[in-house]
Chains A and B, each alone.
Chain A
Amino acid sequence: MLWNYRRKVAKLYRTLSFGMSVCWIVPILFFLCLSSPVKAEDVIRFGASLSLTGRMSTEGRLVKDGYDFYVKHINALGGIPIKGKKYKVEIVYYDDESDPKTAVRLVEKLIVQDNIKFLLGPYSSTCTIPASSVSEKYKIPMVEANGASNPIFERGYKYIFATLNTIDQYFGSIVKMASEVNPRPKTIAFINENSLAPQLANDAAAREAKKLGIKVVYKEKYPTGTKDLSSMLAEIRDKRPDILLGAGYTEGMILLVKQAKEMGVKVKMFGLLLGPTLPGFVEDLRKDADYLLEPIQWSSNMAWKDDVFGYTAPEFARLFEQDFGYKPDYHPPQAAAALLVYHHALQKAGVLDPQKVRDAIAQTDIMTFYGPIRFNEQGMNIGKGMAVVQIQNGKPVVVYPKSVAEGSLIYPIPRSQ
């Protein structure tokens, strides 16, 4: 009996292993058939290392969906027309697990092994800074959409370009808007978390304010993870500034709004680096969130219209939701815009040579559903500025610049608040 049973098991094992090998061979053959006969020159391949898992995976996926939006829509039109011939588009993705070291390795792999000539950016400044050093080394252009820190562009690199506004431009629009309102504010106070991005934002805004003749009466930083800002705010209250700008991350920003009210800080204009448009912020702070300002990269009700597909920003938002099942924030359109930059540059260069395409990118001057794009020598987008939203009756309303505004700024903040 036992002998018989063993034979049966052996037979079953042989059958299974044969089955397994067939399982392997069939897809391998299938892929070989797929990949070899297609004429390689009819497809333009882009490469990107993205944070698809790990702590930044939520944002990483938003970026991937943005890139994929362009691919889907351009391939539906038959591809990018270059000199009368249409090229389909394909993106090779790798997952860097939200780790900058892995991103570096993968970008090198994309260039050396996969022979990618045109790179798209990863997610976050921490990944973009080292990844762009690799593309620079190999002289391969990288158009990124999600690294906003200035140090990316301050190294004299020639092959890095970004569609989004850098962190030092965040408060620029609010300060500029302040210089145009009536009565004109005379004094401004700054408070920020002691970390890189908030510091850059406030330093740049303070320079801008001085330039426009607004006096800086207070500028201090608080340590990360602080539980109390009340005494700093008491000091600010006693200096009576017209404007208060706070830069930090969510925890600090909520604390700032609550304690400013507790300490009786009464300013005419109150701006935060981030917060009001995050989930739960307005919902929890209720009317205390009213009149707060926040700089934003993009909003789906802006009046931009791109010249490849002819989509306006609202149309982009609608089509994107149709394709991916959720309403886009600013991440997907700025990612898609990176491919629009390549689209125009490839058409202009007329060849698939990375050097020539890089030169064409440098001369970019285009309009997209994400806004206008034009690069300075460092590769930063100076075509568009940040827009400003104000929370009015619990809803974010774009109030600046005038060309894309949905409503007018409420200034000064009504006294009862």
Chain B
Amino acid sequence: MEQEITLKKESQPLAFLKPLVVKFTPKFQKGDIISSLKKTGITIVSILLFLGLWHLGSKALYNKEAAYKIEKALTEQGQAAADAERACIASGDSSCQPNTLPSPAQVWSSLQALIADHKVITADKAAFVEKMAETNIKLVEQGKDAIVYTGRASFVDIVLTSIKTVFAGFLLALLIAVPIGVIIGLSPSLRSAFNWFIQVFKPVSPVVWYLLVFMIVKTLYIGDSSDNAFVISFISVGLCAMWATLVNTAMGVSSVDKDYINVAKVLKLGTFQKVFKVILPSSLPLIFTGLRITLSVAWMVLIAIELLAQSQGLGLFVWEEFQNGANDSNAKIIVAMFIIGIIGFLLDRLMLTVQNMVSFNKNEGV
């Protein structure tokens, strides 16, 4: 019986999807259905409970502010004004509504408004592109720049910008932190050389990172009128978030099991082979733990940095809505909050799946 040796890590191109497939292939048994129903039931109950408490809380706040408004009208302008105010609030007219924590229903309708708005803007954009198509062809023929749509961004565009920023920042963190982490993990003297650097810069706040990056990028872009907000924000996000990966990589590399090092020595692996065949694979679990922290930190600091950098993402959206103070602004802020939370959760799940795929039990070889 002839067996093929698999010398590549995975023989099938899609083998890395296997755990996912297994995870999502339902294997139904009677007990499973009951226990999963129970789990889902508990989750639904807790969500309903949360929504209920939220609704009651926002109602209480609404009533408090409404009572204050009527009271104020009464003391300042008399009974007639107070009655008018009361009638106005009761009618639901947007001009006199108390501006406080929005209720779940308001947030839901804001979300729908944002989606409708997105559809309108998308249609606008398509129409604009169609209208300008001929003109643009002419412009390009004349060697001029084509006219692009510069209307306001829709909510979906804003979310996509934020995700793009986070991923660019994450990639930057990965490209900086992993190689440096490996190098300082390998050499104890470099480790002590870099230690003060890491200790000093790790606790620096996102705002300060932004300012630092702004100082540098502003000078680099001098004389260039193009928008550098995206560049500044993704670099700031990357620098802010990379420390967990740097520290974890250095630790993983420096604490490789002595048995594996002995194997590398006995087999007389060269330095390159030793790093890539023994040290890196064995520190992968720790590196991925670091990357997971980095991704969640990146998503967390994103809001503050986008706000400062005026990058068209969720951070700026939240800030502009707050400054705007329109009737549904508060509800839109809450929508953004949920979107941020849910995307953060999905990103973390994504990283966890990848981490589980590359991890192995430390004692498996022993």
Partners in one complex: no
